[in-house]
Chains A and B, each alone.
Chain A
């Protein structure tokens, strides 16, 4: 009929081809490609998080050290804001008007349909005022939040603080979301997983404006928030506060351990800060101030500062020499106002022979230098290098040279040089001799230890040869403590040897270098020390445990720039011991307490923590 009738087929052909393309495209979109399904879920599902309250922290006697206080965030849904008096609102919540208006503008930019936080952490007293007037501010409402509160304001370094998670951390830890809080230091960090509890998540469907339209999957996937676990710290709040008081106006640290358990009774790092400074609206002011303070109040000296141990290390030398049969209790060395070999002179201040216990009591340098020389060069080792290795292995078994805490990851390791270290720097290709490293015998030279390690060493002496890793948390409500903390560790020195040097340590306090630390009625074993400080006055150190039999407390005290052990460290340690064992300072010693409290050693000089010798 028509010459162009065949063109119908071409037209239908084109239609069918397009139809086929569309079907293939739909097949790809709807069945092959799953990204659109994921985008759809992301579009409509919104998580609403219920934050659990963080676990509380008690001291060993059940006193609360950390609890949560409710503060209020002021939120606003910009679309719903009616007419209100900005000035009134700002004066109630005590926020400058400009800041408030600025935040409100930001919220409007975010979304006019969704609520945004305008002002964070309104304290409870302001909240009471605001609540009465809330009806005047349509579109605004309040949301509760928990913040940490510290009834005693002590133990900031032990408790640590919390802060918003960092973006880098978020990437590796999907549990956290931007804006979540996490323990940043101390117990808050070490026990984060116990303290945080579990967030509750409710899934809601939202429309394109972000308005909630109902629950997702009828709430089948929703979870309830689980409160964080409470912790009992091993700290003795009273002792802790007393220690902090004694250390006011001094830089340094105190670590007191219950030897039979490894529980830390008190851990003081001075200067410190009030933990409440790291909470709430003032944190933004306080944190940079603390961070920039030249005295480093945020730095936990007790676990992170490294000093040469000084004479406090002498018992360790004695014990090793006894164990290795280098000396006996009766062996004696002569002190000729020091120790002199050829051109080498090491000063001391006696002119007599000493046996081990006398040498400890009088802290004779010459005795330990000679003893250490004899140990290193003993023929049975076949060379001083081997002798050094033997000695070093004993030292390591006392918890030196490595981290001993399972809780503080900011803990420093200390430094017990490996033989290679001396090989490279001291002996080069020459034969090993004792003399170039003889200062190790009196705790100077390259050896470095932390106050925590020294307290642990004291606990080992008190225990006659073993320790539990020192820790600040005693128990967790509803969970087991890390079993490592309950595992006894023995040193490589037989416990018999420990008993043999007790007399010397007791003598230190009774009539020796630290008689100032003597407390009538308590047998204290101790040792003074002076940690050399090339940057200023030497540091005063003292370690002690008491009572001699069945010790209850082992303590290490460092007072930076405190010159000699018996000047500040020994008195402070003895006051701590007395406070802990007797609960109060007896009248005859109160002058000492007053003197310690009043001492001010701080001057604007930057304390210098000697890192590994370069």
Chain B
């Protein structure tokens, strides 16, 4: 009994308050998004907000159950839970229901569950278990292989359900990896690749190559701080451009600036690579290598984009990058979402007063696009409150994670923070048109039992672990 009593004292009530705030705010916004004159009662079980109330009650019960569970349970059962949830992912492949093209739902009587949500919980536990073991190290090859396997298996199963959005969330696990010692270069490399990908689609090809050359020179100068060393690469570049141009003219080929530039910068890259190795200038070698790889990458992206991607996938990417604007086609959701949010103004139109919200202009408004309701009815002020609440929640979780004695708890805490982080960034980002439209819910906010219960499970498990922070969990 004494230990039970301790739990309530050590529980982080700030996080619980934030949780309750977000859940209730979400419920009210769902009410507003679905509200119609015919069904006024917020407790109407036929409507989504009535059901959400039920899910919320269940979530509170679930949270309570977790808090009274022994914290060692999660450590001891992390692998069995992981395997059980993988099993559910396989089951859903055979017995699942299709919703919006994804075979991700498991129906048991009245309830429909989305195992892919819970799989992230199992993965977090398993990762925490592995990374907290004595012999784990990012320098160890076996450790790395194990980590990759733990991630790739659920991702593959989820991709097989055609639920790409949920699979993408697994990118979030790179954050705890990074925290636990994974090379920062991997994060940087990911970021750089994403940037290259976007730029090579966004910019005219020749402009991209020119920018790449200029930035290679700029980085070189920054690293070496010797202006006279610029001469050699300049000469090589200019002469190869001249040479390729002459070849083009001699052979009577149609002069295409992009191809000339691409070929000559590739040639000069290879020359400079050998030159830098010969002269033993490692920075130059690195820069030139990255330069050549970037050239190849952008060329591949352009080629892949035109030849491999389906038209609707091209649409989505183009849309996100603002290349094509067709407000009635692929960009309809995002455009309507921006209209709803943008029309909110400073203080919003008031609870239940949002016209775009009430009249269904934004599709999926109670689930993925719930933030539109906040933006329209509560305005800039309301949006800021929600954003600050999320950021504060995430920072709070990270800080709590840092104070853990147990590596298991810390890694799990980072997993929780990262998953919420990823959902938050993508979900709100897509409603305001600066993140790709990946159908993932806003934690605690969006309509849906699976999502709410999953995040409750995640958060309260961490709270339970945090309450036992003075015990050494293994």
Please list the residues of chain A having a beta carbon within 8 angstroms of any beta carbon in chain B. 3-5, 7-8, 10-12, 15-16, 18-19, 21-23, 25-27, 29-31, 33, 35-37, 39-41, 43-44, 205-209, 213-214
Contacts and interface: CB of A to CB of B under 8 A. Distances in A.
Given A26-B375, A26-B383, A33-B342, A8 B402 contact: yes
Nearest to B403: A1
Interface in B35-90: 37
A506 to B, nearest CB: 78
B359 A30 contact: no
Contact of A37 (B179, B342, B361, B434): B342
B342 A25 contact: no
Contacts of A31: 345-346, 380
Interface in B157-205: 175, 178-181, 184
Contacts of A7: 178-179, 184
Interface in B409-429: 421, 425, 428-429
B340 A40 contact: yes
Contacts of B398: 8, 11-12
A347 B384 CA distance: 99
A30 B341 CA distance: 7
Contact of A4 (B179, B336, B387): B179
B179 A29 contact: no
Nearest to B394: A15
Contacts of A39: 339, 342-343
Interface in B319-375: 336, 338-346, 355-356, 358-361, 375
B393 to A, nearest CB: 11
Contacts of B361: 43-44, 207-208
Nearest to B418: A11
B395 interface: yes
Given A8-B398, A30-B375, A25 B434 contact: yes
Contacts of A4: 179-181
Given A4-B181, A7-B178, A36-B342, A21 B434 contact: yes
B420 to A, nearest CB: 10
A11 B178 contact: yes
A44 B375 contact: no
A22 B339 contact: no
B432 interface: yes
B379 interface: yes
A26 to B, nearest CB: 5
Given A11-B175, A11-B178, A18-B425, A40 B384 contact: no
B391 interface: yes
Contacts of B184: 7, 10
B402 A15 contact: no
B432 A25 contact: yes
Given A36-B342, A43-B355, A26 B179 contact: no
A30 B339 contact: no
15 contacts: A7-B179, A16-B391, A22-B428, A25-B434, A26-B341, A26-B383, A29-B338, A30-B380, A33-B342, A37-B345, A39-B342, A40-B343, A41-B343, A43-B359, A207-B360
Contacts of A16: 391
B33 to A, nearest CB: 13
Interface string B288-328: 00000000000000000000000000000000000000000
B380 A205 contact: no
A29 B359 contact: no
A22 B431 CA distance: 11
Contacts of A5: 402
B356 A43 contact: yes
Contacts of B379: 30
Nearest to B379: A30
A43 to B, nearest CB: 5
Given A40-B340, A40-B356, 6 more contacts: A11-B179, A26-B432, A36-B343, A39-B343, A40-B343, A40-B376
A4 B383 CA distance: 34
Nearest to A211: B359
For the complex, would chain A's binding face be called helix, strand, loop or mixed by DSSP majority? helix
Contacts of B339: 36, 39-40, 43
B308 to A, nearest CB: 30
Given A29-B338, A30-B375, A31-B380, A205 B345 contact: no
Nearest to A209: B360
Contacts of A36: 338-339, 341-343
> Which of A3, A19, A205 is most buried by chain B, counting CB atoms within 10 A of its CB?
A19
B395 A12 contact: yes
Contacts of A23: 384, 387
Contacts of B344: 30
Complex A-B, nearest 10 residue pairs according to Cβ-Cβ distance, in ascending order: A36-B342, A40-B343, A207-B359, A44-B355, A29-B342, A30-B380, A208-B360, A39-B339, A37-B343, A19-B391
A221 to B, nearest CB: 15
A15 B395 contact: yes
Contacts of A37: 342-343, 345
A26 B343 contact: no
Nearest to A9: B398
Contacts of A3: 181
Contacts of A25: 432-434
Nearest to B354: A40
Nearest to A26: B383
Contacts of B360: 207-209
Contacts of B346: 30-31
A26 B395 contact: no
Contacts of B394: 15
Contacts of A18: 425
B435 to A, nearest CB: 10
B338 A19 contact: no
B49 to A, nearest CB: 18
A22 B402 contact: no
B359 A206 contact: yes
Contacts of A19: 387-388, 391
Given A4-B180, A15-B421, A22-B428, A30 B391 contact: no
A4 B176 CA distance: 11
A15 B428 CA distance: 13
A5 B402 CA distance: 8
Contacts of B395: 12, 15
A206 to B, nearest CB: 7
Contacts of B342: 29-30, 33, 35-37, 39-40
> Which of B343, B376, B428 is most buried by chain A, counting CB atoms within 10 A of its CB?
B343
B277 to A, nearest CB: 33
A36 B341 CA distance: 8
B126 to A, nearest CB: 21
Contacts of B341: 26, 29-30, 36
Contacts of B181: 3-4
> Which of A5, A26, A35, A214 is most buried by chain B, counting CB atoms within 10 A of its CB?
A26
Nearest to A43: B361
Contact of A22 (B178, B338, B432): B432
B8 to A, nearest CB: 27
A29 B384 contact: no
A509 to B, nearest CB: 75
A58 to B, nearest CB: 48
B179 A30 contact: no
Contact of B383 (A15, A30, A205, A208): A30
Contacts of A27: 380
B149 to A, nearest CB: 23
Contact of B359 (A21, A26, A205): A205
B359 A208 contact: yes
Contacts of A22: 387, 428-429, 432, 434
A36 to B, nearest CB: 2
A16 B379 CA distance: 21
A37 B343 CA distance: 4
Nearest to B434: A25
A206 B433 CA distance: 25
A35 B175 CA distance: 38
A44 B356 contact: yes
